[in-house]
């Protein structure tokens, strides 16, 4: 059993030594632990520091590409390194690396495909009241979109089984955690939650300067995932609302046309006809889009199945 621990880093020379030191050297059930440092265009001494402290595996981005791309490329490289389990942590020592044995245990026991470290954000002292509220709201929306019940879906401390990692196909430029959690849930991966306590803060998040920025960047990912995975729910709901709004003036118009036919084509009632027609027409467009999006979803499932076979072939994975 091989474990690869990925650490995406953008200028983490100060905190990386603490992270590397806290990673367990031996874990029951694991024969080999490899650390993969994903350098996302660091301009400080992150790489030299990592090399000095014994890191052997590097993936370089010559130009900063962001955490989502770092995660995506790192996941694939970890598989190429022969990982049976992949752990993700951060270079700012936010997460308790000493908990990695607990994090991977459900995967070792074949009881999970994905284990997410739940930061228990409601208990974090340095999180403001508004940040906690946004966190709760965001998690609620995401769980609705993913049809899941995950307390901390954007946690960056997680473990993937080999199969779960192969089956993930991240495409978003931002919010990799949101996107891949929705994907894992839709692919019916068994997700286990491990409550963790984050380490004292050594620096502010550089990903998101404020909760607002986080919402602005995550919203398109959640909406897109919702449309991708549940297109009929999305378009049919919109279509149904449009149909109801359109039918009210239309029924009113038809009623007047049948019962008082001289008045029906008067100036006021033509408005009912016009508004009703526009909304009913819009609802048909929404229903048609729902059917087309669902057909595209079916095509994507076939494509993803083919991609899984190609990846397994490339990685020489038997099962």
Positions touching Mg ion (CB under 5 A) are 90, 92, 94
Strand partners, 38: 8, 59
Smallest gap from Cβ 203 to ligand GDP, in A, equals 8
Write down the least CB distance from residue 150 to ligand GDP, Å.
17
CA distance 115 to 107: 8
Look at residues 6, 177, 19 and name the one whose alpha carbon lies nearest to residue 78: 6
Interaction pattern, residues 48-87, with ligand GDP; x per rule: CB under 6 A = ----------------x-xx--x-----------------
User: Under a CB-based contact definition with an 8 Å cutoff, are residues 118 and 193 in contact?
Assistant: yes
Judged by beta carbon, residue 116 or residue 145, the one nearer Mg ion is 116
Using CB under 6 A as the criterion, what x/- string covers residues 258-277 for binding ligand GDP? --------------------
Residues 108-167 that bind ligand GDP (CB under 6 A): 156
Q: Rule CB under 6 A: is residue 10 a binding residue for ligand GDP?
A: yes
- Cα of first residue to Cα of last residue in the chain, in angstroms, is 15
What x/- string results for residues 198 through 237 when contact with ligand GDP is judged by CB under 6 A? -------xxxx-----------------------------
Binding window for ligand GDP (CB under 6 A); candidates: 78-86, 90-98, 136-144, 283-291: 90-98
Closest distance between ligand GDP and the C-beta of residue 67, in Å?
4
* Of residues 213, 222, 224, the one with CA closest to residue 134: 213
The three-state (H, E, C) secondary structure of 24-41, written as one string: CCCCCCCCEEEEEEEEEC
208 phi/psi in degrees, rounded to 5: -130, 125
Query: Would you mind telling me the total number of residues written for the chain in this entry?
Result: 319
Q: Does residue number 12 form part of the binding site for ligand GDP (CB under 6 A)?
A: yes
Minimum CB distance to ligand GDP, residue 10 (Å): 4
**CA-CA distance, 192 to 177, in Å (whole number)?**
15
- Min separation Cβ 12 and ligand GDP, Å: 5
Least separation in angstroms between CB 163 and ligand GDP: 25
What percent of the chain is helix, strand and coil (3-state, nearest 5)? 55, 15, 35
Residue with smaller CB distance to ligand GDP, 89 or 272:
89
Contacts of 9 (CB under 8 A, 6+ apart): 16, 37, 38, 39, 40, 42, 46, 50, 91
Q: Is there a contact between 37 and 77 (Cβ–Cβ < 8 Å)?
A: no
Nearest-approach distance from CB 290 to ligand GDP, in angstroms: 35
Q: Which does 33 bind (CB under 5 to 8 A by kind): Mg ion, ligand GDP, none?
A: none
Question: Which residues of this chain interact with ligand GDP, rule CB under 6 A?
Answer: 8-10, 12, 40, 64, 66-67, 70, 90-92, 94, 156, 205-208
């Amino acid at each position: 059993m091989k474990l690869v621990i990925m650490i995406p880093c953008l200028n983490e020379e100060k905190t990386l030594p603490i992270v590397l030191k806290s990673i367990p050297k031996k874990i029951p059930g694991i024969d080999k632990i490899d650390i993969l440092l994903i350098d996302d265009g660091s301009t400080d001494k992150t790489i030299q520091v990592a090399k000095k402290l014994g890191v052997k595996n590097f993936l370089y981005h010559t130009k900063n590409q962001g955490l989502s791309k770092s995660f995506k490329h790192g996941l694939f490289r970890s598989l190429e390194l022969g990982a049976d389990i992949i752990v993700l942590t951060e270079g700012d020592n936010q997460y308790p690396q000493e908990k990695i044995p607990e994090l991977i245990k459900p995967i070792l026991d074949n009881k999970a495909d994905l284990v997410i470290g739940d930061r228990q954000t409601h208990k974090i002292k340095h999180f403001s009241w508004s940040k906690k509220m946004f966190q709760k709201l965001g998690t609620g929306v995401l769980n609705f979109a993913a049809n899941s019940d995950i307390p901390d879906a954007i946690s960056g401390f997680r473990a993937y089984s080999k199969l779960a990692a192969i089956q993930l196909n991240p495409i978003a430029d931002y919010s990799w955690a949101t996107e891949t959690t929705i994907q894992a849930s839709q692919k019916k991966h068994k997700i286990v939650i491990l409550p963790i306590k984050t380490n004292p803060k050594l620096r502010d998040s550089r990903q998101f300067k404020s909760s607002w920025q986080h919402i602005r960047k995550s919203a398109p990912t959640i909406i897109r995932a919702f449309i991708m995975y549940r297109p009929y729910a999305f378009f049919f709901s919109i279509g149904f609302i449009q149909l109801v709004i359109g039918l009210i003036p239309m029924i009113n118009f038809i009623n007047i046309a049948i019962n008082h036919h001289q008045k029906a084509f008067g100036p006021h009632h033509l408005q009912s006809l016009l508004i009703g027609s526009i909304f009913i027409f819009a609802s048909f467009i929404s229903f048609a889009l729902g059917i087309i999006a669902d057909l595209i979803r079916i095509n994507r499932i076939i494509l993803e199945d083919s991609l899984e076979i190609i990846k397994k072939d490339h990685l020489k994975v038997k099962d």
